[in-house]
Chain A
Amino acid sequence: GQQVMQIPQYQHVQEGEDFTTYCNSSTTLSNIQWYKQRPGGHPVFLIQLVKSGEVKKQKRLTFQFGEAKKNSSLHITATQTTDVGTYFCAGLADSSYKLIFGSGTRLLVRP
């Protein structure tokens, strides 16, 4: 079945450093979504990417969708303590009704 792998599992950075998490699917995706879950909270939708090679930015966050539509990345520039949480990617395979979530990357930021 379809699998979505996400790395790294954990990332501990000094405030001001950059952070990147990567997502890889075993099958071609029709779209990929990113969610953020704060400690003790629930996942909150960040963005959706649909087109091959698409790049979207939200302030310090940059999201990319690979040319083959099988991988994606989230890059945070100059992390802040408010960025702490777990970032999940979720992919929808072609002809599927279910989003498949990656295992998440937990970001810790040292002030």
Chain B
Amino acid sequence: DGGITQSPKYLFRKEGQNVTLSCEQNLNHDAMYWYRQDPGQGLRLIYYSQIVNDFQKGDIAEGYSVSREKKESFPLTVTSAQKNPTAFYLCASSGTSGGGTQYFGPGTRLLVL
């Protein structure tokens, strides 16, 4: 797991509810990433952060928000604006901000009730 933890492992969301997924790393990595994976599909980038207090939108940022107040933490909020949030969410970190090896957490499976 490379020192990255994600919680919870499973999360259930009601319609219209915001939920926050946790991602913590103790690898002293500068860069962190959030990906969404749908069944049988590849990884799509939601947000990424190259350094503390800075982050950029990825390819599918609509309906999501992030913060990067600490180097170790990069929480992802799935807002009610995300109309199809059911997916597997993966957090990753890398020691270099430009395309270095990415270490993934175990993921959070989000299901909308």
- Give A contacts to B, CB under 8 Å: 6, 30-31, 33, 35, 41-45, 48, 88, 90, 92, 96-99, 101-104, 106
Number of A-B contacts (CB under 8 A): 50
Hey, which bits of chain B sit against chain A, CB under 8 A? 1, 35, 40-43, 45, 48, 50, 58, 90, 92, 97-99, 101-107
A101 touches B42 (CB 8 A): yes
B42 near A33 (CB under 8 angstroms)?
no
Asked whether, in the complex, the Cβ of B42 is within 8 Å of the Cβ of A102, the reply is yes
Question: A31-B99, A106-B40 are contacts. A43–B45 as well, Cβ < 8 Å?
Answer: no
Cβ-defined contact, A45 with B99, below 8 A: no
Give the complex CA separation of A43 and B103 in angstroms. 8
CB distance from A41 to the nearest CB of B (A): 8
Q: A43-B92, A43-B104, A99-B102 are in contact. List 13 more A-B contacts (CB 8 A).
A: A33-B102, A42-B104, A43-B43, A43-B90, A45-B102, A88-B42, A92-B98, A97-B50, A97-B98, A97-B99, A98-B48, A101-B35, A104-B41
